[in-house]
Amino acid sequence: MVKIGDIELGSFPLLLAPMEDVSDPPFRALCKENGADVVYTEFISSEGLIRDAVKSVMKLDIYEKERPVGIQIFGSNLDSMLKAIDIVEKTNPDIIDINFGCPVKKVVCKGAGAGILKDINKMEMLTREMAKRTRLPVTVKTRLGWDESSIKIVEVAERIQDAGAKAIAIHGRTRAQMYKGNANWKLISEVKNNQRMKIPVFGNGDVNSPERALEMRDKYGLDGAMIGRASIGNPWFFNHVKHYFKTGTHMQPPTISERIRMAEKHLLMSIDWKGEKLGVLETRRHYSNYFRGIPDFKKYRNIMVTTDCSDELLLLFSDLKKQFNSEPVLN
C-alpha cells in the first residue's frame, strides 16, 4: 500500500502531473473519473498568491470530486513560500506540492523551479520550513539535476525526505535536457533502491503507454507513475493502464463518438469554470488527441483551433457525432 502521509493510494498509484494550462479543475476531474489516483494543479506562483494575482488565485479552485488533490506552488523566497502555504491551506487541498523541477526560463531565472537545483541546501531548507508550516503532507516534484555533470538525485532525495517531504516525484531528465531525449528511469530507480528512502518515489517522464507504466513498476521498482503529456486529450489513459496491469491486454480504445462526447463535456466544464474566452482557448491543445482516428481531421482541426465561439464548436461536435455515430477508432 502506497501512502502520502495518511492518504492511502493502493498499489502503484497513477498521478496526473501538474501541467501549466492543462491541469485545471475540468481536466483533473475528467482524469479522476477515468482512473487517476491523485491529481495535481497547475503550478502556482507563491509571489502571485501573496499579491492576490487573479490568475494565481484562480488556480486554487478545486472540485470535491477530484480528491485526493495536490496544490503545487513554486518560488525561491522563503517568506513568500511560507505565506503562500498559509493561503493554500485555507483552500483545503489534500496535499501541498513544491515545484523544484520546472525548466522554463522565466521561472528558472528567478531561482525557482529547476533553478533551485543549483542550490541543494536551499532546496532542503525550503522543504523543511514548508513542511513545518502546515498540517498537510508536503511532497516534492523535481528533476535529476541541473545538467548531466551535476546529478546528485540520490543525495537530494534523501535530504528532501529528511526535511519532511512525504513523497517525491522525479522527472527523469535534467533541466538542460528540457523535454528532449529519453527520460532516465535507471537514475530514479537508484533513489528508490537507496535503503535510506522510506517515502514513496514516483517516476515521471515518457510514461506514454501501458507497457511503459508496467516497466516502471516491474523493472524499475518505483512506487507509482506520474502521467503528463500522455493524458492530454486522453483522460482514458489512466484506466487503460490499470486494465493492462490487471489483464495483460489492452482496453478497447474509445470510439469516435466517445471521443467527441468527452471533448464536448470538457469544453462545457471549462467554459463553466473559466468563462467563454478562456474555456474555448485552453481546450484547444486537447483536440488532436481527442479526435485521433477521425478521417480527414485536418479540416475540422482548423476550425477547432481558430474559432473563439463555443457555439460553433458545439455545432461542429454535433455534426461529427451524426457522421461518426458508434464508429470505432482504428489505432
Alpha-carbon gap, residue 177 to 165, rounded angstroms:
26
The pLDDT assigned to 54 comes to: 63
* Final residue of a structural domain among 215, 247, 279: 247
Query: Can you give the CATH number for the domain in which 303 is found?
Result: 1.10.1200
The pLDDT assigned to 231 comes to: 96
Neighbouring CB atoms inside 10 A of 190's CB total 17
Q: Which of 31, 102, 109, 309 is catalytic?
A: 102
23 touches 39 (CB < 8 A) = yes
* Final residue of a structural domain among 191, 212, 247: 247
The pLDDT assigned to 37 comes to: 97
- The answer on 76 and 27 residing in a single domain is yes
Taking alpha carbons only, the member of 203, 206, 145, 207 closest to residue 176 is: 145
Task: Give, for all 331 residues of the chain, the pLDDT tens digit.
Answer: 899 999 999 999 999 999 988 999 999 999 999 999 999 998 888 888 888 776 777 777 888 889 999 999 988 889 999 999 999 998 999 999 999 877 777 787 677 777 888 889 999 999 999 999 999 999 999 999 877 878 899 999 999 999 999 999 999 998 877 888 889 999 999 999 999 999 999 999 999 999 999 999 999 999 999 999 999 999 999 999 999 999 999 999 888 888 889 999 999 999 998 899 888 988 988 988 888 877 777 878 888 888 888 888 998 888 888 777 655 544 4
Judge whether 138 lies within some domain.
yes
31 in active site: no
* Final residue of a structural domain among 247, 269, 291: 247
Alpha-carbon gap, residue 203 to 67, rounded angstroms:
21
Taking alpha carbons only, the member of 88, 171, 103 closest to residue 137 is: 88
- The answer on 267 and 240 residing in a single domain is no
The amino acid present at 306, given as its one-letter code, is: T
Number of domains in the chain: 2
Alpha-carbon gap, residue 224 to 53, rounded angstroms:
34
Judge whether 329 lies within some domain.
no
Alpha-carbon gap, residue 35 to 135, rounded angstroms:
27
Query: Can you give the CATH number for the domain in which 87 is found?
Result: 3.20.20.70
The pLDDT assigned to 330 comes to: 44
Instruction: Give me the domain span that covers residue 311.
Output: 256-323
DSSP assignment letter at 193: T
The pLDDT assigned to 44 comes to: 87
Instruction: Judge residue 281's burial from the number of C-beta atoms within 10 Å of its C-beta, 0-12 exposed, 13-18 middle, 19 or more buried.
Output: middle
- The answer on 158 and 194 residing in a single domain is yes
Q: What is the pLDDT of residues 126-141, one digit of tens each?
A: 999 999 999 999 999 9
Judge whether 213 lies within some domain.
yes
- The answer on 104 and 11 residing in a single domain is yes
Q: What is the pLDDT of residues 164-194, one digit of tens each?
A: 999 999 999 988 778 888 899 999 999 999 9
